[in-house]
Amino acid sequence: LAQDKKWRIGFSQATTIEPWRAQFNKDIIAEAAKHPEVELIVTDGEDKTEKQVADVENLIRQEVDALLISPKESAGLTGVVQQAIDAKIPVFVLDRNVETDQYTQFVGGDNKLIGRAAGEYAVELLGGKGKAQGNVVEIWGGMGTQPAHDRHDGFHEFTDKEPGIKNLLDQQSGDWKQDQAYNIMATALRNNEKIDLVYGHNDPMAYGAYLAAKDAGREKDIKFIGIDALPGEGVTWVNNGELTATFLYATPGAEGLRQAIKFLNGEKVEKTVTLDTMKVTKENAGQIMKEKGL
């Protein structure tokens, strides 16, 4: 059987404790199953930079034909990605970037665009362009990641133009985690009598904030916006009326592997592949769930 395998492809995942990454792994493993010529080796960084660095070093030692990596953070993974590049292994960076552009390809969503869409919608929810009024709680993802910065910057391109919008927090990071966002929101609720909108850099954090507001009996006064739109999570929470909206951040699992195989087969690949997004509100959430069999 092993002789049939033409390509050994390593995939270094940052963590699997977050639902979006569990889905990401499912997507890449399902795609690999469609390619009998590919042996896919998946590692789990367990949400620790040191562990993920060791994983990549291991894959380099195994002389994989291509390396796919979704880094936990940019700075800490740049060195080892460079090592792979120096070892002439084609590198495909997925979802979060590193601080070099010498990789073969980047595949992921456009976080600036998603942030802008979220900001534009927040302005609409708070009364519309030029008239928006409200106190906003923003809960950041991991500070060392580009998606968090892009999601922040895009959002503020819209909300910062509104004199009636006030930002209640300054760079508070929930590190993408629901429980950390719950705690940030619980404190914000204690410190602020009026909160109108929460922007979580992902759905688990928007939902954690929702749960904190619910426990304080204030969830009805607040709009919650998240990002990811996993059918069983964000989309379901929107459909339940818990979140007001979420924006699709598709996992690059299937596309990333397809691109790597294309490259290994000698075809040209683009430097960047950008995955589509969409806004999910009560209007389309139910339909999306139906399409996914939920």
For residue 36, the minimal CB distance to ligand FRU (Å) is 30
233 binds ligand FRU (CB under 6 A): no
Rounded CA-CA distance 52/124 in Å is 41
Q: Nearest distance from residue 74's CB to ligand FRU, in Å?
A: 11
DSSP conformation class of 55:
H
Please check whether residue 96 is in contact with residue 73, taking contact to mean a CB–CB distance below 8 angstroms.
yes
Which residue type is seen at 71?
A: P
What single-letter amino acid sits at 180?
Q
Can residue 141 be called a binding residue for ligand FRU (CB under 6 A)? yes
- Is residue 202 a contact partner of residue 180, using CB atoms and an 8 Å limit? no
The answer to whether 153 contacts ligand FRU (rule: CB under 6 A) is no
Which residue's CB is nearer to ligand FRU, number 141 or number 231? 141
- Verify binding: residue 175, ligand FRU, rule CB under 6 A: no
Return the number of the residue (115 or 134) whose C-beta is nearest ligand FRU: 115
Q: Which of these, 241, 224, 213, 235, lies nearest to 280 by C-alpha position?
A: 235
CB of 138 to ligand FRU, least distance (A): 15
Our finding on whether 158 is near ligand FRU (CB under 6 A) is no
Contacts of 126 (CB under 8 A, 6+ apart): 132, 133, 134, 136, 162, 164, 165, 196, 197
Closest CA to 270 of 92, 61, 53: 92
- Within residues 29-48, the interface with ligand FRU by CB under 6 A covers none
State yes or no: residue 249 binds ligand FRU (CB under 6 A). Answer: yes
Q: How far is the CB of 93 from ligand FRU (least distance, A)?
A: 12
29 close to 11: Cβ distance less than 8 angstroms: no
Residues that bind ligand FRU (CB under 6 A): 18, 20-21, 95-96, 141, 145, 147, 176, 202, 227-228, 249
